[in-house]
């Protein structure tokens, strides 16, 4: 039986639709981005990682994907995007903002995407994860970012963004869309390392969640990441007011 993923790829109309959404989405988000003001705290942590010769494994909540896309644009950061139709047009948008993509998700293709991201980091590129995506539950960290840090020796760098005025969508992640001409605060946390290991990522069907019980180091680091992001959210809210 042909999968739904193959069905949309076989349709010229759907491919054209994905491209059209990507072009329009990039234009609209770029237009919004030109109106935003930024207030930052903790950028010295990213500078310290760069001086060390390492690359950051950036980690943040899915609900802040729009302002994160704008702030970190044009740096060649590699992110994971789903292989389905939505993932195709999302990839089209973020690639236009200067990101690289590794295709896969917690539910499909996670192993292949994580291995690609490991190769990209070996080539000197930073990576980024919406750690509770693509489907949630919200504010519960998946283990992919932690595994990649453990596999590459690069540090996890958490961050949070908060807009002083925004719309909040009624989506599972309560996605935040900054209003035009508002201030967006970025709070970047201290880097932390996970002891290096040669463990392979999970294959399709296992999902990233299979990593949680496989290694206590990963579980401890995953919980630490959640705690750091809670504190960074409070800091970003303070900066945004």
CATH number at residue 132: 3.40.1130
DSSP 117-151: HHHHHHTT--EEEETTTTT--TT---SHHHHHHHH
What are the tens digits of pLDDT across the range 52-68? 999 999 999 999 999 99
The span from the CA of 57 to the CA of 192, in Å, is: 10
pLDDT at residue 130, as a whole number: 94
In this predicted structure, the answer to whether residue 9 has a pLDDT above a threshold of 60 is yes
State how far Cα 123 lies from the chain centre: 19
What is the rounded average pLDDT of the residues 176-185?
A: 98
Give the pLDDT band of residue 196 (cuts 50, 70, 90). Answer: confident
Structural domain for 182, as ranges: 4-240
- Nearest CA to 152 out of 56, 50, 45 is that of 56
Give the pLDDT band of residue 207 (cuts 50, 70, 90). Answer: very low
What is the rounded average pLDDT of the residues 90-115?
A: 85
What are the tens digits of pLDDT across the range 13-22? 888 998 999 9
pLDDT at residue 112, as a whole number: 85
What is the rounded average pLDDT of the residues 151-156?
A: 95
- Nearest CA to 194 out of 160, 153, 225 is that of 153
Give the pLDDT band of residue 200 (cuts 50, 70, 90). Answer: low
In this predicted structure, the answer to whether residue 111 has a pLDDT above a threshold of 60 is yes
* Tally of domains in the chain: 1
The span from the CA of 45 to the CA of 227, in Å, is: 18
Enter the pTM of the model.
Answer: 0.88
User: Looking at residue 204, what DSSP letter applies?
Assistant: T
């Amino acid at each position: 039986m042909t999968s739904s993923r193959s069905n949309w790829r076989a349709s010229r109309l759907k491919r054209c639709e994905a491209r059209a959404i990507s072009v329009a989405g990039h234009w609209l988000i770029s237009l919004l981005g030109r109106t935003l003001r930024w207030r930052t705290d903790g950028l010295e942590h990213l500078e310290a990682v760069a001086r060390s010769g390492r690359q950051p494994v950036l980690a943040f909540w899915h609900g802040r994907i729009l302002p994160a896309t704008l702030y970190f644009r044009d740096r060649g950061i590699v992110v994971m995007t789903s292989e389905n139709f939505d993932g195709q047009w999302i990839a089209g948008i973020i690639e236009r903002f200067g990101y690289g993509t590794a295709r896969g998700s917690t539910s499909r293709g996670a192993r292949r995407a994580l291995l690609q991201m490991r190769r990209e980091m070996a080539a000197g590129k930073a990576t980024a994860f919406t750690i509770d995506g693509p489907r949630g539950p919200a504010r519960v960290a998946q283990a992919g970012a932690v595994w990649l840090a453990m596999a590459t020796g690069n540090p996890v760098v958490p961050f949070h963004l908060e807009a002083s005025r925004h719309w909040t969508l009624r989506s599972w992640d309560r996605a935040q869309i900054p209003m035009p001409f508002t201030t967006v605060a970025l709070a970047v946390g201290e880097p932390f390392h996970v002891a290096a290991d040669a463990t392979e990522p999970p294959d399709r069907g296992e999902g990233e969640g299979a990593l949680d019980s496989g290694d206590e180091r990963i579980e401890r680091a995953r919980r630490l990441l959640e705690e750091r992001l809670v504190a960074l959210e409070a800091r970003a809210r303070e900066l945004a007011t």
